């Protein structure tokens, strides 16, 4: 017989919240294996000692923040509602069944006032990495780095155009010295000191979130974005560095400085790195070679002018410092320009009668010019690494590490879109997302180890 039960539950029961949370729940593992006691020490200087109302326990406050990132809850108001009805969340925070949940405005107020202009979120991320190191889950020997775009909380149609100065390259002094030395070795006069010219670019600036950058890339969506530059350790795919920039900043710009930061902060002895083709720039190749780090960087295929020989058809003779063309003619050194490129030019008298002229150059003076950077040896060193057996094995691991890390952040932790506006707030979101990803991986791994033995 079908009988509906419409009576409301009125019975009172004596229950323990400890008994209502499953023993294999993720939050139980996180609470057991992650030590949150460092939070008190980190935030104590931000609180007044002898004035004001009693504050919400900082560990409870940050655990609320972690819950939002663990389960991809985008709204702090919704987070409060979820905690009110979810027993596992209450247990994780140390709240009883009848305890009042801290108001959602507490989180936003602390972000806008107490934690503003501090490094607290970076400090918390770093502490989680240090705990992973103590559990031998981070080796610091092989690192994989890449960036992913995160949609800014801004309409791409609402913008103004502004003139901004081009980024000053931090390697220019070293490059200028290398150019001067190269010209001296080739018997060329030093270049005249050119007055510094401040070149400007016109960019789109969002009216809603001016810190974001307008991104236009092949195969990527167009609009206002941020870039999450992330590094993972090859041992257990734990995230060791997070850095956020506007979407119009090139991947290679912050790379070397962030690599150095990890070595200083965590004491890493980096032996090898794997990078996407966006990092295949001469300064990065040079920087990694000087640091004696085995570098594997994806190949970027350039398309030459239609019908003309690609550059690889011209063979470089290092001993004689010249190029040899497909017709076995020599292209001799002419000069080194300010950008660090050596110019090798052919003899036009030979080229006039060459049967391959139309496949080589369209220049009116029948002269072929091939350029080679003063640091080109470093780039060729990276290419040889990529083609080696160990280089191929290392690069194959890239999609299993960094790409998977980005996919988890977007699919499971709500990092496909920016919740807030402004670079500091987006950096907070990136750091906390990465922190909970590390906590989750650490807790699950340590729990498995304990069960095995």
User: Helices in 333-422 by DSSP H: which ranges?
Assistant: 348-352, 357-360, 376-387, 389-396, 398-412
Burial 282-292 (b: 16+ CB within 10 A, else e): bbbbbbbbeee
- The residue behind tokens 């981070």 is 138
Is there a contact between 69 and 436 (Cβ–Cβ < 8 Å)? yes
Whole-number Å distance between alpha carbons of 14 and 102: 25
Is there a contact between 188 and 335 (Cβ–Cβ < 8 Å)? yes
Query: Would you say residue 170 has pLDDT above 70?
Result: no
Taking 3-state DSSP, the helix, strand and coil percentages for the chain, each rounded to the nearest 5, stand at 40, 15, 40
**What integer pLDDT is reported at residue 169 of this predicted model?**
62
- 168 pLDDT tier (thresholds 50, 70, 90): low
Q: What is the mean pLDDT of residues 201-214?
A: 89
Query: Would you say residue 196 has pLDDT above 80?
Result: no
Greater model confidence, 8 or 220: 220
Query: Would you say residue 198 has pLDDT above 60?
Result: no
Range in 72-76, 86-90, 297-301 the model is least confident about:
297-301
- 121 pLDDT tier (thresholds 50, 70, 90): very high
Whole-number Å distance between alpha carbons of 398 and 406: 12
Strands 223-233 and 142-151: antiparallel
- Three-state DSSP class for residue 165: strand
- 437 pLDDT tier (thresholds 50, 70, 90): very high
Q: What is the mean pLDDT of residues 84-91?
A: 94
């Amino acid at each position: 017989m079908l009988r509906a039960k419409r009576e409301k539950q009125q019975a009172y029961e004596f229950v323990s919240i400890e008994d209502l949370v499953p023993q294999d729940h993720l939050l139980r593992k996180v609470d057991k294996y992650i030590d949150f006691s460092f939070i008190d020490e980190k935030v104590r200087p931000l609180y007044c000692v002898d004035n004001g109302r009693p504050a919400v326990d900082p560990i409870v406050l940050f655990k609320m923040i972690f819950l939002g990132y663990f389960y991809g809850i985008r709204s702090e108001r919704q987070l409060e509602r979820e905690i009110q009805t979810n027993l596992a969340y209450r247990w994780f925070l140390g709240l009883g069944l009848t305890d009042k949940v801290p108001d959602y405005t507490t989180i936003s107020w602390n972000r806008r006032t107490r934690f503003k202009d501090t490094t607290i979120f970076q400090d918390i991320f770093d502490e989680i990495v240090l705990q992973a190191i103590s559990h031998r889950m981070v080796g610091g020997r092989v690192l994989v780095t890449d960036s992913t775009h995160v949609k800014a909380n801004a309409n791409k149609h609402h913008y103004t155009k502004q003139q901004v100065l081009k980024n000053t390259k931090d390697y220019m002094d070293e490059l200028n010295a290398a150019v001067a030395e190269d010209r001296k070795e080739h018997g060329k006069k030093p270049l005249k000191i050119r007055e510094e010219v401040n070149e400007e670019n016109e960019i789109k600036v969002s009216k809603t979130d001016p810190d974001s950058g307008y991104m236009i890339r092949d195969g990527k969506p167009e609009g206002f974005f941020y870039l999450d530059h992330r590094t993972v350790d090859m041992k257990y795919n734990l995230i060791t560095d997070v850095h956020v920039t506007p979407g119009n900043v090139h991947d290679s710009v912050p790379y070397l400085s962030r690599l150095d930061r990890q070595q200083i902060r965590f004491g890493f002895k980096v032996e090898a790195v794997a990078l996407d083709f966006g990092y295949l720039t001469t300064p990065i190749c040079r920087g990694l070679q000087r640091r004696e780090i085995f570098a594997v960087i994806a190949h970027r295929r350039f398309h030459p002018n239609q019908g003309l020989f690609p550059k690889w058809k011209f063979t470089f003779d290092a001993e004689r410092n010249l190029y040899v063309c497909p017709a076995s003619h020599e292209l001799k050194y002419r000069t080194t320009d300010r950008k660090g490129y050596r110019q090798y030019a052919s003899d036009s008298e030979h080229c006039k009668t060459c049967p391959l002229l139309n496949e080589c150059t369209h220049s009116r003076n029948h002269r072929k010019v091939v350029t080679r950077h003063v640091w080109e040896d470093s780039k060729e060193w990276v290419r040889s690494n990529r083609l080696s057996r160990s280089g191929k094995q290392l690069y194959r691991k890239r999609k299993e590490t960094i790409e998977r890390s980005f996919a988890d952040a977007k699919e499971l932790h709500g990092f496909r879109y920016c919740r807030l506006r402004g670079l500091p707030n987006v950096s907070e979101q990136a750091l906390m997302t990465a922190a909970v990803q590390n906590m989750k991986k650490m807790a699950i791994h340590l729990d498995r180890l304990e069960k095995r033995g």
